Amino acid sequence: MNDPTSTHSAIPALDFTEPQPGSDRRTFMVRSAMATAIGLLGGQVNPLFAQAPANAQPVKLDPNLNVVKQSKGPVMTLVDEFYKVGPGPSSSHTIGPMRITYDFYQRAIKLPQAQLDQATALKVHLYGSLSATGKGHGTERAALAGLIGYEPATIDPVAVLDKMQAEPNKTYPVKLGTKTINSSLADIIYDATKGDFPHANTMTCMLMAGDKVLLEQEYYSVGGGFIEWKGYTPPKKNPPKYPYQSMAEVIAFTKRDNISIAQLAMANETSISGRSEAEINAFLDKIIGAMRATVKTGLAAPTSTLPGPIKLKTKAGDVYRSAMAEQLPARKAIGIVSAAALAGSEENARGHLVITAPTGGSAGVMPAVLFSLDAAGAKVSDQKLREGLLAAAVVGYLCKHHATLAAAEGGCQAEIGVASAMGAAMIAQALDAAPQIAANGAEGALEHHLGMTCDPVAGFVQIPCIERCAFGAVKSWTGFLIAKDEIPANRRVDFDSTVQALAITAKEMNSKYKETSEGGLAVSLTLC
Ligand code: SF4
């Protein structure tokens, strides 16, 4: 009999061995047959198939995490917490870990100098999904960058992160008061991938004096670049002008006060944060500028091979040029939106600066929607773009509040699905459609991503992620157009029910499809 795991078998045989205890025989046999068929078609069996457990455990979240507790009470998230600029390719695997190690460094330097004088090393341990797919995301480089004093929003990814990749053995001096120690990529440890962690993206940071621990902190990268730590208490905020927990309440407030979703969002931003409208608009302008820049840079980049083992060629520029030459308006429009999304997502895959909207993996969706509303398409004003970002944020906040933005918790529906829903709301708001149309458009876009798994090939945010951003952006437009052209009151599925479905599906999704690269395309695609 052929060895089914041999990469040299001409025709691998079915696996007749007994399934693992606790796993279901039918699933086991189907999986075995699939592995055989893929081996037959591809000429070799993907060795990951042999490693993927048939009975992967669902991810459990610690009820003490703020991200879990926050799902009660009114939405309190602010735009500057939500839209973050930082290096790709994943907000939870690059921006979050960099923020975490930067935070730990700030804590460490507050220790008394007598303790700092004993320090010999800084160590970071990565667990769960961070360990399973961190290598493909460059998590070790992001974590080291934070330790040596870089912040996501201001880092130059080419000068710092790409250089770390080119010089993996280089050591970097870290100043601890008057003492200096060295840190390197060897200090970032890929630890256990499975275990009873408080969150799927758990990290611990330690300041060591030989074998003695001077300072230790457990952290969680909870999605979208948000971070928490053991014992975290959220910063104090003022009550919102419009305390809402659901889209139904948002719509009710907009009707009562005859305002748009963007106006409601701006009122809450000012009341919760105490900042002025001018300050919030200045922040939104920075995000608009960053989104324009990511699309422009991605479209202008020559066709090249992305980093990593997939050797994936970029195509944003080619798709854009071809779309621009199209005569049929519909083909041209879809081509331009798709090209812009590919551009943003390819920038993310390069590890360049992107904007979490809501995450790094979905970094192409919202910039593409903005591009299609901007000078390249509908030519709306900057004020309308700001309003669009605010309405999109309300959609994202509600998904975060009741479900999740992290693929490690909910698969790709939580990233591209939410991004696409945000895009639909942004289009509706920027084109001055009624709040109900924005809500219905967002609902449609989210509904048609439900169940979508996260299965990045080789752990790199490239396949399926890059093209998935293009499909997500096009679905934003589809969601808006259907909502605009139907009678809004006739819609039978409301946004809040779909967010609930997102949460339920996330909870029940097998952990193999939650950014672990243990299922789906990650195991069915054979890299040669
Ligand atoms: S498959 Fe989706 S969720 Fe997973 S890394 Fe790619 S874009 Fe993110």
CA distances to 20, 205, 277, 417, 432 from 384, in Å = 56, 43, 15, 23, 8
* Nearest ligand 1 atom to alpha carbon 515: 4
**Rounded distance, CA 252 to CA 244, Å?**
10
Residue 326 Cα to ligand 1 midpoint, Å, equals 30
* Of 7-11, 67-71, 425-429, minimum mean pLDDT range: 7-11
**Rounded distance, CA 466 to CA 347, Å?**
10
* Nearest ligand 1 atom to alpha carbon 468: 7
SS3 (DSSP) at 380: coil
**pLDDT band (50, 70, 90) for residue 89:** confident
Whether the predicted pLDDT of 56 surpasses 60: no
Whether the predicted pLDDT of 218 surpasses 50: yes
Query: Which pLDDT does position 6 carry in this prediction?
Result: 35
- Indicate whether residue 456 lines ligand 1 (CB < 6 A): yes
Residue 516 Cα to ligand 1 midpoint, Å, equals 10
- Indicate whether residue 407 lines ligand 1 (CB < 6 A): yes
Amino acid present at 93: H
Query: Which pLDDT does position 66 carry in this prediction?
Result: 66
* Of 333-342, 427-436, 512-521, minimum mean pLDDT range: 512-521
Looking up tokens 């025989």, which residue turns up? 25
> Tens digit of pLDDT for each residue in 150-194?
999 889 998 999 899 999 999 999 999 999 999 999 999 999 999
Q: Determine contact, residues 36/14, Cβ cutoff 8 Å.
A: yes
Q: Whose CA is nearest to atom 4 of ligand 1?
A: 454
β-pair partners for 355: 85
User: Which of 94, 342, 416 has most ligand 1 atoms within 8 Å of its beta carbon, as the pocket-test mutant?
Assistant: 416
**pLDDT band (50, 70, 90) for residue 205:** very high
* Nearest ligand 1 atom to alpha carbon 411: 3
β-pair partners for 124: 188, 205
User: Which of 359, 461, 509, 521 has most ligand 1 atoms within 8 Å of its beta carbon, as the pocket-test mutant?
Assistant: 461
Q: Whose CA is nearest to atom 8 of ligand 1?
A: 361
* Of 88-92, 463-467, 502-506, minimum mean pLDDT range: 88-92
Q: Determine contact, residues 223/202, Cβ cutoff 8 Å.
A: no
Residue 435 Cα to ligand 1 midpoint, Å, equals 29
Residue 44 Cα to ligand 1 midpoint, Å, equals 25
Query: Which pLDDT does position 158 carry in this prediction?
Result: 87
**Does 236 or 176 have the greater pLDDT score?**
176
Residue 239 burial (CB < 10 Å; 0-12/13-18/19+)?
A: exposed
**Rounded distance, CA 306 to CA 302, Å?**
11
**Rounded distance, CA 257 to CA 302, Å?**
50
The closest alpha carbon to 221, from 72, 367, 65, belongs to 65
* Nearest ligand 1 atom to alpha carbon 469: 7
* Nearest ligand 1 atom to alpha carbon 415: 3
Looking up tokens 């459609």, which residue turns up? 433
Residue 223 Cα to ligand 1 midpoint, Å, equals 12
**pLDDT band (50, 70, 90) for residue 223:** confident
Query: pTM for the whole thing?
Result: 0.80
Whether the predicted pLDDT of 511 surpasses 50: yes
**pLDDT band (50, 70, 90) for residue 342:** very high
> Tens digit of pLDDT for each residue in 481-509?
999 999 998 999 999 999 999 999 999 99
**Does 471 or 21 have the greater pLDDT score?**
471
Mean pLDDT of 287-314: 95
Q: Which helix (H) or strand (E) holds 136?
A: helix 129-137
- Indicate whether residue 374 lines ligand 1 (CB < 6 A): no
Query: Which pLDDT does position 19 carry in this prediction?
Result: 42
Amino acid present at 337: V
Residue 405 Cα to ligand 1 midpoint, Å, equals 11
Q: Report the half-sphere exposure of 253 (CA within 13 A, side-chain side).
A: 19
Query: Which pLDDT does position 234 carry in this prediction?
Result: 83
> Tens digit of pLDDT for each residue in 104-161?
999 999 999 999 999 999 999 999 999 998 887 899 999 999 999 999 988 999 899 9
Cite the DSSP H helix spans in 325-454.
Answer: 329-349, 365-373, 382-402, 407-410, 416-430, 435-447
Mean pLDDT of the chain: 88
